[in-house]
Amino acid sequence: MAEKKKIRVLAAKPGLDGHDRGVKVVASALMDAGMEVIYTGLRQSPSQIVEAAIQEDVDVIAMSILSGAHDYLFPKVMDLLAEKDIRDILVIGGGIIPDEDIPALKASGIAEIFGPGTTTGDIIQYIRDQKSV
Amino acid sequence: MSDQNGGKSLEQALKKWSEQVEQKIKKRPERKAEFVNTSGIPVKRVYTPLDLSYSDYLSDIGLPGDYPFTRGVQPTMYRGRYWTMRQYAGFASAAESNKRYRFLLDQGQTGLSVAFDLPTQIGYDSDHEMALGEVGKVGVAIDSVKDMEILFHKIPLDQVSTSMTINAPAAILLAMYVVVAEQQGVPIEKLRGTIQNDILKEYSSRGTYIFPPKPSMRIITDIFSFCAREIPLWNTISISGYHIREAGSTAVQEVAFTLANGIAYVQAALDAGLDVDSFGPRLSFFFNAHLDFLEEVAKFRAIRRLWADIMAKRFKAQNPKSMMVRFHTQTAGCTLTAQQPKNNIVRVAFQALAAVLGGTQSLHTNSMDEALCLPSEEAVQIALRTQQLIAYESGVADTVDPLGGSYFMETLTQEIYERAKAYIDKIDEMGGAVEAIEKGYIQREIQDSAYTYQREIEKEERIVVGLNRFQTQEERPGHLLRVDPSVQKEQAESLKKLKAERDNEKVKQSLSTLQKAAQGGDNLMPFILEAVRSYATLGEICDLLRGIFGEYQQVSTLGN
């Protein structure tokens, strides 16, 4: 039997925020857990992120924002994915995101938000649960 | 160094004591098999005079205010006056931030510290496409000197010192500050304050770069030489370890990478023909106060000694002021938890105390709610009160370097000094900090430490109270401070108005002379000042310079 296909993840930093400690730690943990991770680097516009997700044929987009711009940038990514009729990519987010903002982000299609204190183990488990074939 | 008289008998006594303890802990083991601090330095059970390894007290430690300044940069330290209590603040519009500054000054704060939003820090006007969603979020939006006039409305610039966290466009924001001072009738040689102006740590740790290293270093040395002539009291740079630490480095790495960046700036200025003592005294520093209390105090002491060494021996500075590390400290934002946020008040208090015992010149204490959102007014007040409690109630400010002479403190200071020095030697071998960053070495070192730290938390080898132990069920606090999204629209409208009302011919002219200067080799500061005076916007000036200098592309450091 062929080896099970590895889960491919795009780790992305939308907007101008330069805090990349979290995204790099999560990316390293996902790699150690056997996933393939492509990291966009800083300062990506929503359309750059969607382009990269298509190019790299990923299963998951994991975005991190600590600047407070999540309320604009996360839904923007979801709009662009919808415009291209892409519905099978799991999109998750993390960073400094107030609890009261989470319902609106989920309504826009973000599957889950992981705030400060989340373990990388929780994120790995969540992705596996959602994407296990 | 060993105690001349008692050394031998102490050695014997210690040997005997250790044997007895080893017997005891066979029955009742210590909490851990090995005690190691965050920098990987082993911590022994006890320290005695036998551990002191400095070669000569006066040349390695000395007295406060004397080379190598291990014990502090002034002879009287806080007996003379307390550190400057300086809370980093700024959000939304210039008018909103002006209100917060005046609140803080009313509360007894003694200096201002301006936080700019990300578009300002990266040189975009508020109506730029990349600014969407970011305007006014992490700081105040400044598009032109018009906004700066509002920001400092009714704040006399000859009576406050102002620190501005601005890096890639530091020259432009400094120029705006100077123009506001001129409007207030304040002679610019009286201005006191700091621009961060530290681009190298932006490449490695903080992310708000614009131009590549070479033109960035030119702008920085232009600022050094302009300020030496025109604004002698201004701190022309704040060489920052804070963000290196926040990005995940250890204490030793924070010292080494910051001072390696410092070496690169000094070398660039020397290469541009400046005299080391013309700009050396105006270099300032910015460090993190993290959790490991004694390690942090030792870190500050080691930094002073190491930089004094570097300036005196490597760069042959003559003026003692060129050798002194004067530094700002901020408590470690990355140690704040979203869980049980009131615990953060206590974390911040310990960290602030470490900064004071380490001899800081100014201090920002974080607010308890910063892992959740922008700090509320109440949280900021508690943070400021924490500093006032340390100053006025704890008594620690009444003698200089009170932990100096502790066997452990002196041993740890020496250890950090040596380990940081070894890192700097390695960076020198690579060709210096710029090369080490371009190779991704520094970024990789930092991210490896960050990953190790996170794994330690997840394996519960590192306990975070309220997070991986002593958890409680809790409601997250409501009423978080939010930035009104209309700020973006208002800024965009004022920009439109500005561009309609200003003398656009004058703007064009000032920008075209700036362009010629940037293409040539003249000091850019006078030209940037002219452009700012003509009400050219930050985005216009940065776009012009982007066209000439290009933009920095981040090095990829993840994976193999």
pLDDT tens digits, B399-429: 999 999 999 999 999 999 999 999 999 999 9
A10, A24, A30, A124: best mutation site toward chain B, by most B Cβ within 10 Å? A24
Please indicate whether, in this complex, the C-beta atoms of B371 and A116 are within 8 angstroms of each other. yes
Q: How confident is the model over B217-257, as pLDDT tens digits?
A: 999 999 999 999 999 999 999 999 999 999 999 999 999 99
Q: How confident is the model over B259-270, as pLDDT tens digits?
A: 999 999 999 999
Mean pLDDT along residues B148-163: 95
B137, B249, B448, B552: best mutation site toward chain A, by most A Cβ within 10 Å? B137
Distance of CA B244 to CAs B76, B168, B518, Å? 31, 17, 30
Instruction: Look at residue B1 in the predicted model and tell me its pLDDT.
Output: 46
Least CB-CB distance to B373: which of A29, A37, A98? A98
Nearest chain B Cα to A115, which residue? B338
pLDDT at B476 over 90: no
The C-alpha angle B335, B340, B344, rounded to 5 degrees, equals 40
pLDDT band at residue B6 using 50, 70 and 90 as cut-offs: low
Instruction: Look at residue A1 in the predicted model and tell me its pLDDT.
Output: 45
Q: How confident is the model over A59-83, as pLDDT tens digits?
A: 999 999 999 999 999 999 999 999 9
pLDDT at A2 over 70: no
Nearest chain A Cα to B476, which residue? A99
A8, A9, A13, A16: best mutation site toward chain B, by most B Cβ within 10 Å? A16
Residues of chain B contacting A, Cβ within 8 Å: 118-119, 121-122, 124, 129-134, 137-138, 202, 206-208, 246-248, 334, 337-339, 371-374, 447, 450-451, 454, 457-458, 467, 476, 478, 480, 483, 485, 554, 556, 558-559
Task: List Cβ neighbours of B445 (8 Å cut-off, separation of 6 or more).
Answer: B249, B253, B257
Q: How confident is the model over B436-450, as pLDDT tens digits?
A: 999 999 999 999 999
CA end-to-end distance (rounded Å), chain A:
15
Please indicate whether, in this complex, the C-beta atoms of A24 and B373 are within 8 angstroms of each other. no
Please indicate whether, in this complex, the C-beta atoms of B134 and A67 are within 8 angstroms of each other. yes
pLDDT at B464 over 80: yes
Please indicate whether, in this complex, the C-beta atoms of A21 and B130 are within 8 angstroms of each other. no
Mean pLDDT along residues A99-115: 96
pLDDT at B327 over 80: yes
Number of H helices, E strands in chain B: 22, 10
CA dist B403 and B400 (Å) reads 9
pLDDT at B301 over 80: yes
Burial of B312 (C-beta count, 10 Å sphere; 0-12/13-18/19+)? middle
Instruction: Look at residue B5 in the predicted model and tell me its pLDDT.
Output: 53
Instruction: Look at residue B2 in the predicted model and tell me its pLDDT.
Output: 45
pLDDT band at residue B481 using 50, 70 and 90 as cut-offs: confident
pLDDT at B560 over 70: no
- Per the prediction, chain A carries an average pLDDT of 95
B367, B558, B560: best mutation site toward chain A, by most A Cβ within 10 Å? B558
Please indicate whether, in this complex, the C-beta atoms of A67 and B118 are within 8 angstroms of each other. yes
Distance from the Cα of residue B254 to its chain's centroid: 11
Instruction: Look at residue B88 in the predicted model and tell me its pLDDT.
Output: 84
Instruction: Look at residue B441 in the predicted model and tell me its pLDDT.
Output: 97
Please indicate whether, in this complex, the C-beta atoms of B458 and A25 are within 8 angstroms of each other. no
Neighbours of B553 (CB within 10 A): 9
Mean pLDDT along residues B156-175: 96
Least CB-CB distance to B450: which of A15, A21, A116? A21
Nearest chain A Cα to B479, which residue? A100
Contacts of B248 in chain A (CB under 8 A): 21, 25
pLDDT at B73 over 80: yes
Look-up of token digits 């530091």: B170
CA dist A78 and B349 (Å) reads 42
Strand partners, B84: B362
Distance from the Cα of residue B557 to its chain's centroid: 24
Strands A112-114 and B327-331, by their bridges, are unpaired
Please tell me the distance in Å from B247's CA to the nearest CA on chain A.
5
Please tell me the distance in Å from A7's CA to the nearest CA on chain B.
16
pLDDT at A133 over 60: no
Please indicate whether, in this complex, the C-beta atoms of A98 and B137 are within 8 angstroms of each other. no
B92 or B457, which is more confident: B457
Q: Is the ipTM of this complex over 0.90?
A: yes
pLDDT at B559 over 90: no
pLDDT at B328 over 90: yes
**Listed residue (B218, B228, B220) closest to B279, CA to CA:** B228
Please tell me the distance in Å from A104's CA to the nearest CA on chain B.
15
Instruction: Look at residue B7 in the predicted model and tell me its pLDDT.
Output: 65
Residues B101-125: b if buried by 16+ CB within 10 A, e if exposed? beebeeeebbbbbbbbbbbbbbbbb
Contacts of B373 in chain A (CB under 8 A): 68, 96, 98
Contacts of B134 in chain A (CB under 8 A): 15-17, 67-69
B451, B453, B472: best mutation site toward chain A, by most A Cβ within 10 Å? B451
H-only helix segments in B167-250: 170-184, 199-201, 213-230, 242-246
Mean pLDDT along residues B290-294: 98
Instruction: Look at residue B89 in the predicted model and tell me its pLDDT.
Output: 82
Mean pLDDT along residues B186-194: 96
Contacts of A119 in chain B (CB under 8 A): 457-458
A10, A21, A108: best mutation site toward chain B, by most B Cβ within 10 Å? A21
- Per the prediction, chain B carries an average pLDDT of 95
B475 or A6, which is more confident: A6
How much is the pTM?
0.95
Instruction: Look at residue B479 in the predicted model and tell me its pLDDT.
Output: 66
Nearest chain B Cα to A121, which residue? B458
Please indicate whether, in this complex, the C-beta atoms of B246 and A21 are within 8 angstroms of each other. yes
Contacts of B247 in chain A (CB under 8 A): 20-21
DSSP assignment letter at B80: T
Please indicate whether, in this complex, the C-beta atoms of B372 and A98 are within 8 angstroms of each other. yes
Are B7 and B50 in contact by the 8 Å Cβ rule? The answer is: yes
Strands B283-289 and B237-240, by their bridges, are parallel
Please indicate whether, in this complex, the C-beta atoms of A25 and B138 are within 8 angstroms of each other. no
CB pairs under 8 A between A and B: 104
Contacts of A15 in chain B (CB under 8 A): 118, 130, 133-134
Look-up of token digits 């750059």: A48
CA dist B184 and B149 (Å) reads 10
pLDDT at B3 over 80: no
Please indicate whether, in this complex, the C-beta atoms of B558 and A28 are within 8 angstroms of each other. yes
Please indicate whether, in this complex, the C-beta atoms of A120 and B374 are within 8 angstroms of each other. no
Element (H, E) at B85: strand B84-85
Please indicate whether, in this complex, the C-beta atoms of A18 and B202 are within 8 angstroms of each other. yes
